[in-house]
Chain A
Amino acid sequence: MQYTPMMTAPAWKKALIWALVAAGLVLSVPNLFYGRVEAHNDAALAVEAAGFATEEQQAALDLWPTWMPSGLVNLGLDLRGGAHLLAEVQVSDVYKARMDSWWPEVRDALRDVRDQVGSVRRQPTQVPYELRVQIENPAGMAAGVEAVRALSSNIVTLTGVGQTDIDVTAEGDVLIVQLSEAEREAVDLRTIQQSLEIIRTRVDQAGTREPTIQRQGADRILIQVPGIGSAAELKALIGTTAKLTFNPVVRRGTNEDRTPGAGNISLPSLDEEGVWYTVEEVPVVSGDDLTNAKGDFDQNGRPAVAFQFDARGARAFGDYTAQNIGAPFAIVLDGKVISAPVIQSHIPGGSGIITGNFTVEEANRLAVLLSAGALPASMTFLEERTIGPELGQDSIDAGRVAAVIAMAAVSVFMIASYGLFGVFAVVSLGLNMAMIFGILSAIGGTLTLPGIAGIVLIIGMAVDANVLVFERIREELKNAKSAARAIEIGYERALSAIVDANLTTLITSAVLFTMGAGPVRGFAVTLAIGIVTSVFTALFVTRQMVETWYGLRKPSTVIV
């Protein structure tokens, strides 16, 4: 057989191929120096926020040159360690509060048509977004419905204009007021958004890094915080409603007060066993009136929470303390009395401290909760996971060992099977790995433990495209065509099989990505990227190497 020159790719195409490979390589480099680059990135963020750099931060900044790319592959929770919570917001809590606030209005409206409906009575109901009112005179129902309907207002939603916020219907002698579906949707949306906002503020103020806080489905919130010790800790931070009120104390007792009297409620003490306070239900001021709260110490050096009211709260608080010197008032958090100090003097400035049996951490946490505001509804936790950082590190180490061994074994196997062409495939495989990490870093992808498995799987699968081509070239060589022609035809004929085979795997990873959560999604991402890069390296990079080698050595025969 004689040497015949091969059709080679045009120069621009060659340049483009190698430029892409180089970009992948450069982008993947920061991951080799993970600790350094991470310190650099943290410092850079802090410096940007603060506007100046401390000596320590400068040192961290100097760990990595700024002209280099500094994007890193994010490590998933299962590799870094941290806590994961899936919370369901009890949106119906809000419905109930809404219906409670509708009741006085409805009652007043019905009172205006009293001569037709007679006396009215609220009935208990199982449906949280419903208010049932029994009227004495069913004949006047139409007038009652009319009167209540007049209270409704139009709401504007994306789905429809002209819907009202309440639906009013009659059932025998019972008048039923329900939140309309559109209004319920609007309430749900608002509740979830407020909850998200408050959770985000609380988690941010607790000083954790890179938390993930996302809405999931209709009424769920996913919270992932790397580096936090346990899910229980995270739950204490975000699971507390943190509704703070200041209520006048009626009396103090050692038992629950069964007959607190109209407008009063009996509440237990937070840390004094068996102590109950009867307080007025309507608070003087509440946590909504706070502008700021921070961890502090009282005059005896015990941990406390210092707070500051806004103008309205300060006036109400000032007036109340001026009129009630010598009387106790209760500081109530989520239905429990933290403490009930006696008012010593008029407190005009609108600031004060809350003391109780706090540890420093508890005081700080309460301060965070108070300044972030109360959650609009309570939450139940459907799923919680804590992964220790050591377990994550073990997984990374194991994954690294497995990847190196797999790479070595596949390399030996490929070279033994295809000789020089095998070497080309192995070099391509190396570049392929670098490109996967480069792309993951560039798009800020997250690497999870199944993701590492995905990369190892790709090591095995990536050579497939090369194998398809090499086998095809072998066959074509048997057909006694010229070597150059055999190589060309080999690439051409193998293409349809390569594309079909890889597209089906790509479809799978798309389904995995949309359906899966967390770690599985990480697997889908690495698998998808790996498929794209392995097809790219097999079809273009390996081919470039083959063409260049063929052009340089000008062999008369080719053995694959």
Chain B
Amino acid sequence: MAWRLRLAPEKTSFDFFRFQWLTFGGSMLLMVAAFVAWGVMGLNFGIDFKGGTTIRTESAQPVDVGAYRAALEGLPLGDVAITEVFDPSFGPEQNVAMVRIAALDATEAVTPETIAAVEEALRTIDPAMTFPSVESVGPKVSGELVWGSIIAVALTSAAVLAYIWMRFEWQFALGGVLALLHDVFITIGIFALFQIKFDLTIIAGLLTILGYSINDTVVVFDRLRENLQKYKTMPLRDVMNLSVNETLSRTLMTSVTTLIAVGVMMVFGGDVIRGFCFSIFMGVILGTYSSVYVAKNIVLMIGLDRSEKPKNKGTPDEFANVDA
């Protein structure tokens, strides 16, 4: 037999329910913690959701946040936040900072005069400073973007719920979607905890997690469905364990290849996209975990009505053709 890299031994028979109280309970605890972090610390919303202006500055001189702040002191601006940006791809002459200015006006984005004044003030520090990007969003639009994002997450969850319900059974759909929300909310909690900028691309990241994480869950469910047919008398808990064990190698393989790709993008993809990649990275880890430890636990708790199956024998079984 040729050598093969194995992420899981060839045949496993782990009892994934053995430490249920720790894994599932831990998950629930983490979710509560995520909500607490979210509620207490709040999210570090970007201008997409809060309105305001961000100006990216680039200078050959090292960034001195204090000097930047002092330069902008006299201007009639709202709250100003200045953060230095680091990236391994920056050269020694490349010192980047983000200047974020809170919105003042109720609807409009910003006046060109304000931006010109800010740029002029910053150029007193380094006359050669450049401004590779200037973005400005009015509070009116940002309010709508918040709603749009909430609707997007809700719609996606509903669509996935409907699809799994259609293809499997409602207990599976509920388990799958609850596992999804677990992944999304814990990721949001992490963003709150570390105060990472939360903008529109993060929402795209969260939606991607919804799509990806259900992927893993569906593969486990698919095998569970097949095994339920095969071992009609085996207790549900054991069928579940068998299914997870059988798909374990695949689950790990796929998660690892995805993590490799997203991890590489996170490191080398530049600072503009880092938050987005981070959200997907976290989502993949949580998604893998939740498809093994959360989704099926919920199905087990609700319980499946397996007694009905023999009655249906005469009619075409709903699982009969899915393998084709």
Task: Answer yes or no: do A and B interact.
Answer: yes
A394 and B4: CB pair below 8 A? no
A380 and B108: CB pair below 8 A? yes
Q: Which residue of B lies closest to A385 (CB)?
A: B135
User: Any chain B CB within 8 A of the CB of A337?
Assistant: no
Inter-chain CB contacts under 8 Å: number: 247
User: Any chain A CB within 8 A of the CB of B261?
Assistant: yes
A485 CA to B56 CA in the complex, in Å? 60
Q: How far is the CB of B29 from chain A (nearest CB, A)?
A: 27
Interface of A is mostly: helix
* Residue of A401, A497, A502, A512 contacting most chain B CB atoms (<10 Å): A497
Q: Which residue of A lies closest to B248 (CB)?
A: A471
B223 proximity list for chain A (CB < 8 A): 497
User: Any chain A CB within 8 A of the CB of B133?
Assistant: yes
Given the known inter-chain contacts A382-B140, A500-B218, A559-B1, please indicate yes or no for A508 contacting B89, CB distance below 8 A.
Answer: no
A388 and B132: CB pair below 8 A? yes
B208 proximity list for chain A (CB < 8 A): 457, 508, 512, 523, 527
A530 CA to B4 CA in the complex, in Å? 28
A406 CA to B268 CA in the complex, in Å? 10
B261 and A459: CB pair below 8 A? yes
A268 CA to B230 CA in the complex, in Å? 88
A512 proximity list for chain B (CB < 8 A): 152, 204, 207-208
User: Any chain B CB within 8 A of the CB of A507?
Assistant: yes
Q: Which residue of A lies closest to B135 (CB)?
A: A385
User: Any chain A CB within 8 A of the CB of B159?
Assistant: yes
A309 CA to B323 CA in the complex, in Å? 75
A508 proximity list for chain B (CB < 8 A): 156, 159-160, 207-208, 210-211
Given the known inter-chain contacts A388-B132, A450-B201, A493-B323, please indicate yes or no for A467 contacting B215, CB distance below 8 A.
Answer: no
Given the known inter-chain contacts A402-B265, A450-B273, A460-B262, please indicate yes or no for A520 contacting B200, CB distance below 8 A.
Answer: yes
B323 and A461: CB pair below 8 A? no
A523 CA to B279 CA in the complex, in Å? 15
A380 proximity list for chain B (CB < 8 A): 107-108, 138
A456 and B204: CB pair below 8 A? no
B133 and A381: CB pair below 8 A? no
A290 CA to B86 CA in the complex, in Å? 55
B273 and A395: CB pair below 8 A? yes
A453 and B254: CB pair below 8 A? no
Range of interface residues on B (Cβ < 8 Å):
35 or more
Q: Per-position contact with A for B60-79: 1 when CB-CB < 8 Å, else 0? A: 00000000000000000000
Partner of A384, one of B130, B135, B260: B135
Partner of A475, one of B7, B210, B246, B256: B246
Partner of B254, one of A381, A397, A463: A463
Q: Which residue of B lies closest to A419 (CB)?
A: B2
B268 proximity list for chain A (CB < 8 A): 398, 401-402, 405
Q: Per-position contact with A for B233-259: 1 when CB-CB < 8 Å, else 0? A: 000000000000011011001101111
Q: How far is the CB of B178 from chain A (nearest CB, A)?
A: 15
Stretch at the interface among A15-23, A60-68, A162-170, A408-416: A408-416
Partner of A387, one of B130, B132, B138: B132
Known contacts A471-B253, A523-B204, then 9 further A-B pairs from the complex at CB < 8 Å, ordered by chain A residue:
A381-B109, A382-B138, A387-B135, A403-B265, A457-B262, A460-B257, A460-B258, A501-B214, A519-B201
Q: List 5 A-B contacts (CB under 8 A).
A: A417-B4, A449-B272, A457-B280, A464-B254, A511-B159
B interface residues, Cβ below 8 angstroms from A: 1-2, 4-7, 56, 89, 107-110, 112, 115-116, 130-138, 140-141, 148-149, 151-152, 155-156, 159-160, 163-164, 167, 200-201, 203-204, 207-208, 210-212, 214-216, 218-219, 221-223, 226, 246-247, 249-250, 253-254, 256-262, 264-265, 267-270, 272-273, 276-277, 280, 322-324
Q: Which 8 pairs of residues, A with B, have the shortest CB-CB distance? A: A508-B211, A460-B261, A460-B258, A398-B270, A232-B112, A388-B132, A505-B211, A391-B132
A interface residues, Cβ below 8 angstroms from B: 78, 86, 88, 230-232, 235-236, 380-388, 390-391, 394-395, 397-399, 401-403, 405-406, 409-410, 413-414, 416-419, 449-450, 452-453, 456-457, 459-461, 463-464, 467-468, 471, 475, 492-493, 495-497, 500-512, 515-517, 519-520, 523-524, 527, 559
